[in-house]
Amino acid sequence: MSVQSAPGKPAAARRLTAPDIRARKGGEPIVSLTAYHAHTARLVDPHVDFMLVGDSLGMVMHGMETTVPVTVEMMILQGQAVMRGSAKALVVVDLPFGSYEGSPQQAFATASRVLKETGAGAVKLEGGRRMAETVRFLADRGVPVMGHVGLTPQAINTLGSFKALGRDEAGAAMILDDARSIADAGAFSIVLEAMSEPLAAQITREVAPPTIGIGGSSACDGQILVLEDMLGLSDRVPRFVKKFADIGPAIGAAVEAYASEVRARSFPGPEHVYAPKKG
């Protein structure tokens, strides 16, 4: 199906798809960031290949301790916002904890609801070998799945803490097996979170879909960060985050200036008020 434009109007850019991302294996690095809102999606969209509506929104937006309490309804609401604020990048929506692990059928019911209600182009789920059957079930039924191995934050209650994994031989072998399993099951791309550089490099060499690193080193086929972390809006960030800006103090200064102008009655000024209509 071709995209038609109204006469005199430039054709709208086609939104990237999961197959477009899949085809980028070994090519130009894939760029991605999280986005949870229409306004941030609008700013991020021109510069990235895909945006992830990550379940990290529970912690970043809602102040939750972990991603465990995040619901499908929260993901759908923010997925819809990100779709409204973007036109070019693929939008991937996380399936939250408890909404897909029970069975492949449960995962299909949740994933199809998320795709229908948001219009996003793919879902992401956490887990390796234990989720391979589900990844295949979804992929065979028209749901593009991004995998996520290494540190999987939804497993915090069994992991005990958010720390890098696979730094010893046995742990590395398990994560390699996880990545191979979901690659073979049909994941179109795999997030590698918080693992040693040699392990990320080996996975990237060995699996067919592109790998997206977050604490996985530049050996990966692409990178992702949480937008608020790289903008300097988060209190504490993991070692793998680089702050590309520090906008927290600028927001604080703007709010302080607003507060003092309101208190001094110098805002609103004459230019901000409506004059009565003449006649």
Say which residues have a Cβ less than 8 Å from residue 135's Cβ, sequence separation at least 6: 125, 145, 147, 182, 185, 186, 187
3-state secondary structure (DSSP) of residue 129? helix
Beta strands 90-94; 50-53: pairing state:
parallel
Catalytic residue numbers? 193
- Site membership for ligand KIV, residue 214 (CB under 6 A): yes
> Are 90 and 121 spatial neighbours (Cβ–Cβ below 8 Å)?
yes
Size of the site for ligand KIV (CB under 6 A): 11
- Annotate 15-83 with DSSP letters as a single string: PP-HHHHHTTTTSSPEEEEE--SHHHHHHHGGG-SEEEE-TTHHHHTT--SSSTT--HHHHHHHHHHHH
On the question of a cis peptide bond just before residue 209, with omega within 30 degrees of 0, the verdict is no
DSSP class of residue 127 equals B
If the CB atoms of residues 51 and 183 are measured against ligand KIV, the closer one turns out to be 51
Of residues 184-203, those binding ligand KIV (CB under 6 A): 191
Q: How far is the CB of 34 from ligand KIV (least distance, A)?
A: 5
Among residues 172 and 190, whose Cβ is nearest to ligand KIV?
A: 190
E strand or H helix at 250: helix 247-263
Give the shortest CB-252-to-ligand KIV separation in angstroms: 25
Q: Does 49 bind ligand KIV (CB under 6 A)?
A: no
Instruction: Find, among 256, 48, 66, 268, the residue nearest to 151 by Cα.
Output: 66
Q: Which x/- pattern, by CB under 6 A, does the window 117-156 give for ligand KIV?
A: -------------------------------x--------
Which amino acid is present at 21?
Answer: I
Q: How far is the CB of 224 from ligand KIV (least distance, A)?
A: 5
Is 54 a binding residue for ligand KIV by CB under 6 A? The answer is: yes
Do residues 200 and 149 make contact, with C-beta atoms less than 8 angstroms apart? no
**C-beta of 216: minimal distance to ligand KIV in Å?**
10
Nearer to ligand KIV, 157 or 266 (CB): 157
Q: Which stretch binds ligand KIV (CB under 6 A): 17-25, 48-56, 84-92, 201-209?
A: 48-56
Comparing CA positions, the residue from 144, 84, 74, 71 lying closest to residue 112 is 144
**Minimum Å distance from CB 265 to ligand KIV?**
43
55 touches ligand KIV (CB under 6 A): yes
* CA 146 to the chain's CA centroid: 10
Note whether 221 binds ligand KIV by CB under 6 A: no
Among the candidate windows 49-57, 95-103, 199-207, 271-279, which touches ligand KIV by CB under 6 A?
49-57
Which one of residues 183, 224, 227, 231 is an interface residue with ligand KIV (CB under 6 A)?
224
Based on CB atoms, which residue is closest to ligand KIV, 95 or 115?
Answer: 95
**Nearest CB to ligand KIV, comparing residues 65 and 168:** 65
Q: Work out how close the CB of 276 gets to ligand KIV at its nearest, in angstroms, rounded to a whole number.
A: 50
Helices (H), 104-188: 104-118, 132-140, 156-159, 169-184
Where along the sequence are the contacts to ligand KIV (CB under 6 A)? 34, 52, 54-56, 94, 148, 191, 214, 224, 226
